[in-house]
Amino acid sequence: MRILAIHGVGHGDAKTDWPLQWQQAIFQGLSAWRPGMEPPELQFLHFDHFFEQAPLGAPEVAEALVRLGASGLFFGLTDKLRSRGGLASALDAVRWTAGMVAQWVALEDLRGQLRAHLAQAIQDTQPDVILAHSLGSLLAYDTLRRDEAGGGTLARDLNFVTFGSQIGNPAVRAVFGGRIEPLENCRFWWHLFNAEDDVFTCPVGLPDAPRFRQVDTFFDIPGAADHDGAHYLAHDQTALTVWQDLASTARGARRGAPAQPANLAASHARMAVKPKAADLKLKAVLVGIADYADPGARLDGPVNDVFAVSAALQDLGFPPDGIRVVLNERATAQGIRERLKWLLEDAQAGDQLFFYFAGHGAQIPGFGRDSEVDRLDECLVPYDFDWTHGQGISDDELAALYGQLPYKSQFTVMLDCCHAGGMTRGNGLRARGLTPPDDVRHRMLRWDRKSQMWLPREQLARVQPSEKKKVARSSDRASWMGESGSVRRLGRGTSLWAPSSAAYMAAKTANDHKGPYVPMMLEACAEGQLAYEYRHGVTAFGAFTYSVCSVLQQLAREQKRPHLSFEQLIARAAERIATVVPEPQTPQLHCAAFRRKESIPGLSPL
């Protein structure tokens, strides 16, 4: 067996014994299943010299460093870059860690050199297996996917193993056009994932790929050891999946004969793979938060909204077992994330997935290069929200899940909240949005000496040049990025975009896909408007939720259900809102253009 091993970050001037550790883990894993087999031919790809020659201090590399830190890809990186001395003093310290990944993300010429280097190594060594750790997994996937999309055969019959990998991270995924696709020519691809990895690696969602398997390799070791490649390769779950399968196909194995475990207790090999839950083709997560800790932020209708939406979904055919609800103090940031993971992680083509949120929305200032506030991040406000990043449910983390959904699935998001601040009108209307506290609001403002007034910071008041190139029409641009062009709107996946429209289109073409999945967004109001509550007799609801559910319930009662598109649903809901809310509130539909006229599942003509 010939194995080509590709190291990750930090090997240029750090550990010197890692090749021996890898070699021992590999041989022990294989020989446990095939005692007496010859050691594999192991070769290592060396590539650090390419990074030594690439510019570490280039502006685009600096921008990538901030994006990587903001995405949680490297723990503590954002704080390090904002510490005394700023970016320049931090660059050398991160050259062999985040700096290498930032260089790879930012510099297309560097990626091209690395692709050519690895392609030549594959042709020279003709490996049966490629083992790729951390940064090595990025350049390996980039090389194999680009070659395959271009009609090449580098990956043909290869076994591919990635571990400690950042492939699934949105800040990295933009390089691939915002989406990870399977390697069709590979014999098999295993992705070893450790949720405790201190380099914040990410899972890879490819539930429809028959030649792909993600294996949970949990280990928790203090310090950076959670990212150590040898620990991944020596893990019990790696032995029970990767090494068993590779041992059974090693040269010299009897054709059709299974590998024999040295320890009979290992015969339950497939226990390494987490069994899938019972198939549910229609799934929903409904979140309602009324009893926020701050008495001034409390709402009346979200719990009623959740029950109304659940009833409407069941009228449309959703099974009760497919609907998960979380309310009030249980709807913490972690509680919502766990349920979103259940909803989206194992999605298959043909699935109907629905996420509903009733509560407050907010906007949090986001930091860009040089620690300047350069955008506003829309977020959903969980029960334990405290105006810090990571405590709101932002599009960055949503996109990490929905961006990989199968194109033939349908993910609908319905948000009964707003992001323009909140207030109670004199007529008693209560709005579902939080106004930031003054210290957070200060980050969004600047003092204008000429007018002697506080004005929005320039970065938040104009369309960014790089963003303007991505969406042509101004109406589309506002829908994607707000009127200012500086808002990361929920459900848009802008964190998965490349730096420019040309780079984004080139990446999609090079990787042969249509870009990240775009969900169907049903929103309570337009940008800058407020989402109000409505009291139906003595029972409070969100005006948007009540209007949508009443339209659906009326149709469900009819003997012959007419065709109703999402576009028509929003139009009818808008008419009803206008009759009960005296303030402007115009519900919005955001989705791929061809889906606007799609029939709502469950309301197709009988």
Q: What is the pLDDT of residue 465?
A: 43
How high is the pLDDT of residue 264? 31
Quickly state the pLDDT bin for 262 (edges 50, 70, 90). very low
Residue 238 has pLDDT above 90, yes or no: yes
pLDDT over 60 (residue 221): yes
Q: Which of 457 and 266 is assigned the larger pLDDT? A: 457
Number of neighbouring beta carbons within 10 Å of residue 171: 26
Top pLDDT among 378 and 606 is at 378
8 Å CB contact between 490 and 563: no
How much is the mean pLDDT over the chain?
82
Name residues whose C-beta falls within 8 Å of residue 308's C-beta, 6 or more positions apart in sequence.
541, 545, 546, 549
Quote the CA–CA distance of 353 and 350 in Å, as a whole number. Answer: 10
* 490-511 exposure pattern, b = at least 16 Cβ within 10 A, e = fewer: bbbbbbbbbbebebbeebbebb
Q: Specify the pLDDT at position 87.
A: 44
Provide the pLDDT for residue 387.
85
For 159-172, the three-class secondary structure string (H helix, E strand, C coil) is: EEEEECCCCCCHHH
In order of their start, the domains of the chain are 2-48+126-272 (3.40.50), 285-595 (3.40.50.1460)
550-573 mean pLDDT: 84
Yes or no: say if 308 and 541 are a contact pair by the CB < 8 Å rule. yes
Q: Determine which of 145-159, 177-191, 387-401 has the lowest per-residue pLDDT on average.
A: 387-401
What pLDDT, on a 0 to 100 scale, did the predictor assign at position 111?
95
The whole-number pLDDT of residue 266 equals: 40
As a whole number of angstroms, the distance between CA 285 and CA 335 comes to 11
In contact, 486 and 555? CB cutoff 8 Å: no
pLDDT (average), residues 281-310: 95
Q: Which two tokens stand for residue 101?
A: 């990944």
pTM: 0.82
84-125 pLDDT, tens digit each:
344 444 444 445 567 788 889 889 999 999 999 999 999 999
Residue 163 has pLDDT above 90, yes or no: yes
**pLDDT band at residue 374 using 50, 70 and 90 as cut-offs:** low
Sorting pLDDT into bands at 50, 70 and 90, what band is 483?
low
Q: Tokens representing 80?
A: 């390090």
Of residues 12 and 392, the one with the higher pLDDT is: 392
Give the pLDDT confidence score for residue 88 in this predicted structure: 45
Q: Is 85 helix (H, G, I), strand (E, B) or coil?
A: coil
Half-sphere exposure of 98 (CA within 13 A, CB side): 31
DSSP 582: S
Q: What is the average per-residue pLDDT within 128-139?
A: 96
Please give the pLDDT value at position 560: 65
Region of poorest pLDDT, from 302-306, 495-499, 523-527, 581-585:
495-499
Specify whether the CB–CB gap between 249 and 288 falls below 8 A. no
How many helices (DSSP H) and strands (DSSP E) are in the chain? 21, 20
Q: What percent of the chain has pLDDT over 70?
A: 78
With 50 as the cut, is the pLDDT of residue 283 above it? yes
Average pLDDT value for residue range 168-184:
89
Choice among 322-326, 448-452, 473-477, 544-548 with the minimum mean pLDDT = 473-477
* 55-69, 166-180, 461-475, 584-598: range with lowest mean pLDDT: 461-475
Instruction: Determine the pLDDT at residue 428.
Output: 58
Q: For the residues 218-225, what does the mean pLDDT come to?
A: 78
pLDDT of residue 497: 78
pLDDT classification of 60: cutoffs 50, 70, 90: confident
The span from the CA of 474 to the CA of 496, in Å, is 21
C-alpha 193/C-alpha 164 separation (Å) is 7
Mean pLDDT along residues 573-600 = 91
